[in-house]
Amino acid sequence: ALRCHGRRCRPSDYSALATCGLSNAIPRATFTAPSPLVRTQLRTAAQAANGTWRPVSVLDEWVAKEARPISLRQLMVFGRSLTESRLISSANYVRTELPVRIAHRIRDMQKLPYVVVTNRHIEEVYKLYYNAFDTFRKVKEIRTLEDNEKFCEIISQNLKGHLTVIPKLAMGILECGGLMDPKELDHFMNVILRSRISRRVIAEQHLSLTETFNSPYFSPGATLSESDFIGEVFIKCSAKDVISRCAKAVTQLARTTNGPDVQVPEVRIDGHLNASFPYILSHLEYIVGELLRNSVQAVIDRHQKQPDHASSPPPPIEVTICEAQEHVIIRISDRGGGIPRDELPYLWSFSKGPLSQKRLENLGQVPRMAATMQELHVTDELGRADLKAPTYLGSLSTLTSRPPNLRLGMGLPLSRVYAEYWAGSLNLHSLEGYGVDAFLQISRLGNKNEQLTTRASMDA
Ligand code: COI
C-alpha cells in the first residue's frame, strides 16, 4: 500500500496530505511537484479537516452555498418568451451559479489523496477550475445588454479553454488507477463530469438565448412553436429521428474504420415511432451514437469470423422505442457476441480495466475533446484559428471525423453520466456468446431537475 510518513494515504487523511512526500512507487515523470497555489490550497483543506481552520479562504464562502438545480421545463418556460429583463436574469443566474458549482468541485479535488491531486493531468484541471472560479466570482452584477455581451465573451473563452478537461481527467484517472480505491476514483470522475455537463448546460443555454435575442428575426416576448429549440433545449425531440440519424452516421463511420467493402448491419427501428420529449439533442445523440457504434462494431467483428460471412448479411441491430407515462425507453439489441468476460466488470469504470494501458496511449493522441456539438459550436464561433490542435469529437454529426479504432474507453461511462444527468438511466445486459441489450431510459416530461449528485447505487 502507498505510505505517507508511515501512514496509508487516504482521502480523509488530511494531515498526511499537507506534509507527505511523494511515494517512490509513483513514476517521477507522472507526478510532478505541486505548484505553490496547489500546495497552499491543500494545506487549507488539511487544516479544515483537523479543526484548526478558520473561514479565511474565498473558496470556503462559495463552497458554503448550495447549487440551484434546474429542469428542462424551467429552461423552456424561462426562454419561451424572451425579454431583455429575462436575458439579464439568466446572465445573473449563470454569473452566480458557475462559481458555486466550480467551487464544490475544487473542494472535491482538494480532498483527493496528495498523490492523486498532484498527478500532472489532474493538477492541470485543478488550475483550470481555479482560474475559472476566480474569473466568474469577480464578475460584477449584469445590468445592461452591454454587460451581458462582455459576460458572454468570458463564458465562451472558458468553454473553449475547458475542451482539454475530459482527456486530461481521463488520463489522470487512469494513471492513478492503482493509487486509490477504484470505486472512489470512479465516483469522483462521475461527479466531476456530471458537474461539468451541468455548467456547460447553463452556460451554453445562456449563450444560446443571447444569440436568439440578438438575431434580427427575433421579436421580444414572441412565443415559440413546439418544433423549435428554446436555447439548447429541443422541445419535441423525436426518438426515431435521432436513432435514424445516429444509425446513418455510425454506418458511415463503420465504413471508414473497416473499409468500404465491409458489410454493415442494418439498424431496424420499431415500437412507438412517434415518441417525443424535450431534451438537449446533443446529449441524446452522444448516448445513442455511442451505443450504436459499439453494437455495429461488435456485429461486424463477429460476422467477419463466420466461415460463410461473404454470402450472408450480418444480423440486424433491433432498436425498440417504448413510450410510457413518464419515460421513454430505447432498447438497442445486437447479436455481436456479448461483452468479453474480462471487460464486463469494468464496463462503467473510468479508472480500471484490461484495456487501461491502451486507453492511456490513445488518450495521449487526443489533446482536446468535445463531447457534444455545442462544445464545438462555441469553438467555431470564436474562429477556426482556435481549432489548430486536433479536437476529438464524440457527438453524432462528428462521429465520422473521430479517429477510427481509437478506443478511449470513455463512450459507455460518459453516456451513463449524460443519461443520469437528466434523471434517466443506462444499463446493459450482456448475453454471453450471443449479444448485448442496452436500455436507455429517458425522463419524458422534462420536469426532473438536473441530477448533480450521483446515484445511490454508485455511491454505495
Ligand atoms: C467545463 O467545461 O469544465 C466548465 O466548467 C465550463 C464553464 C467554466 C463554463
The band of 323, judged by pLDDT with boundaries at 50, 70 and 90, is: very high
**Model pLDDT, residue 43:** 65
Per-residue model confidence (pLDDT) at position 248? 94
Distance (Å, whole) CA 359 – CA 406: 8
Between residues 355 and 311, the one the model is more confident about: 311
Over the stretch 208-218, which tens digit does the pLDDT of each residue have? 999 999 988 88
In ligand 1, the atom with minimum distance to the C-alpha of 102 is 5
Strand intervals (E) in 253-399: 267-271, 276-280, 317-323, 327-334, 368-370, 391-393
Instruction: List, in order, residues 6 or more apart from 418 with CB less than 8 Å away.
Output: 197, 283, 286, 287
User: Which cell numbers hold the place of 236?
Assistant: 419535441
- What would the mean pLDDT of 387-415 be, rounded to a whole number? 58
347 phi and psi angles, rounded to 5 deg: -55, -35
Measured in Å, residue 101 CA sits from the centre of ligand 1 at 10
Residues 217-273: pLDDT tens digits? 888 877 766 557 898 999 999 999 999 999 999 999 899 888 888 999 999 999 999
Residue 385 CA, ligand 1 centroid: distance in Å: 21
* Res. 120 pLDDT band, cuts 50 70 90: very high
216: cell is 434580427
pTM of the model: 0.82
Residues 90, 384: Cα–Cα separation, whole Å: 28
Q: What per-residue confidence (pLDDT) applies to 457?
A: 40
Does residue 149 contact residue 206 with C-beta atoms inside 8 Å?
A: no
What is the number of other CB atoms lying within 10 angstroms of the CB of residue 251?
Answer: 17
**298 contacts 258 by C-beta, under 8 angstroms:** no
Write the burial class of residue 9 (CB in 10 Å: 0-12 exposed, 13-18 middle, 19+ buried): buried
CB 212 within 8 A of CB 231: yes
**Span 15-36, average pLDDT:** 41
Residue type, 353: G
- The lowest-confidence range among 25-34, 83-92, 147-156, 442-451 is 25-34
**Which of 104, 131, 199, 374, when mutated, tests ligand 1's pocket best, judged by the most ligand atoms within 8 Å of its CB?**
199
Which three-class secondary structure state does DSSP give residue 276?
A: strand
* pLDDT tens string 136-156: 999 999 999 999 999 999 999
pLDDT for the residue numbered 150: 98
Cell numbers 463564458 correspond to: 155
| Per-residue pLDDT at 366 | 64
- Residue 36 burial by CB count (10 A; 0-12/13-18/19+): exposed, middle or buried? exposed
C-beta neighbour count of 245 within 10 angstroms: 17
**Span of 28-37, 40-49, 79-88 with lowest mean pLDDT:** 28-37
Q: What is the mean pLDDT of residues 115-119?
A: 92
Torsion of CA 378, 380, 385, 388, to 10 degrees: 80
Give Cβ neighbours of residue 280 (< 8 Å, ≥ 6 apart).
72, 201, 232, 233, 234, 372, 422
Site of grid cell 428575426: 217
β-pairing verdict for 267-271 and 317-323: parallel
Name the residue with higher pLDDT: 81 or 268. Answer: 268
157: CA distance to ligand 1 center in Å? Answer: 10
* Residue 306 CA to ligand 1 centre (angstroms): 47
CA of 50 to the centre of ligand 1 (A): 31
The upper half-sphere exposure of residue 361, i.e. CA atoms within 13 Å in the direction of its Cβ, equals 6
Q: Mean per-residue pLDDT for 413-433? A: 96
37, 127 in Cβ contact below 8 A?
Answer: yes
Tell me the CA–centroid distance for residue 97 and ligand 1, in Å. Answer: 12
Query: What pLDDT band is residue 351 in, cutting at 50, 70 and 90?
Result: confident
**pLDDT bucket at 25, cuts 50 / 70 / 90:** very low
Give the pLDDT band of residue 22 (cuts 50, 70, 90): very low
Residue 396, pLDDT above cutoff 50: no
Please indicate whether residue 196, judged by its CB atom, sits closer than 6 Å to ligand 1. yes
Atom 8 in ligand 1: residue holding the nearest Cα: 158
Contact 332, 354 (CB under 8 A): no
Res 125 pLDDT > 90: yes
Nearest CA to ligand 1 atom 9: 159
| Nearest atom within ligand 1 for CA of residue 375 | 2
Of 1-5, 188-192, 243-247, 422-426, the least confident: 1-5
CA nearest neighbour of 206 among 123, 336, 296, 98? 98
Ligand 1 geometric centre to CA of 200 (Å):
6
* Cβ contact 407:359 at 8 Å: yes
Instruction: Report the pLDDT value the prediction gives residue 34, as an integer from 0 to 100.
Output: 65
- Residues with Cβ within 8 Å of 389's Cβ and at least 6 positions away in sequence, in order, are 367, 368
- Name the helix (H) or strand (E) containing 170: helix 165-175
pLDDT of res. 365: 66
101 lines ligand 1 (CB under 6 A): no
Residue 392 has a pLDDT of 46
CA nearest ligand 1 atom 3, residue: 196
pLDDT over 90 percentage in the chain: 59
Backbone angles phi, psi at 243, to 5 degrees: -65, -45
CA 103 to chain centre: 18
- Ligand 1 atom index nearest CA of 161: 2
* Ligand 1 site, residue 158, Cβ cutoff 6 A: yes
What string of H, E and C letters represents the secondary structure of 421-443?
Answer: HCCCEEEEEEECCCEEEEEEEEE
Q: What is the mean pLDDT of the chain?
A: 82
Q: At what angle do helices 182-214 and 165-175 cross, to 10 degrees?
A: 180
Collapsing DSSP to helix, strand or coil, 329 comes out as: strand
pLDDT confidence of 81, banded at 50, 70, 90?
confident
Least confident of 13-17, 39-43, 304-308, 361-365: 13-17
Q: Is 263 in contact with 312 (CB distance < 8 Å)?
A: no
Interior CA angle at 301 toward 295 and 304, to 5°? Answer: 135
**Percentage of residues in the chain with pLDDT exceeding 70?**
75
Lowest-confidence region among 32-46, 62-76, 442-456? 32-46
CA of 446 to the centre of ligand 1 (A): 23
Strand ranges (DSSP E) for 324-382? 327-334, 368-370
Q: What's residue 40's pLDDT? A: 67
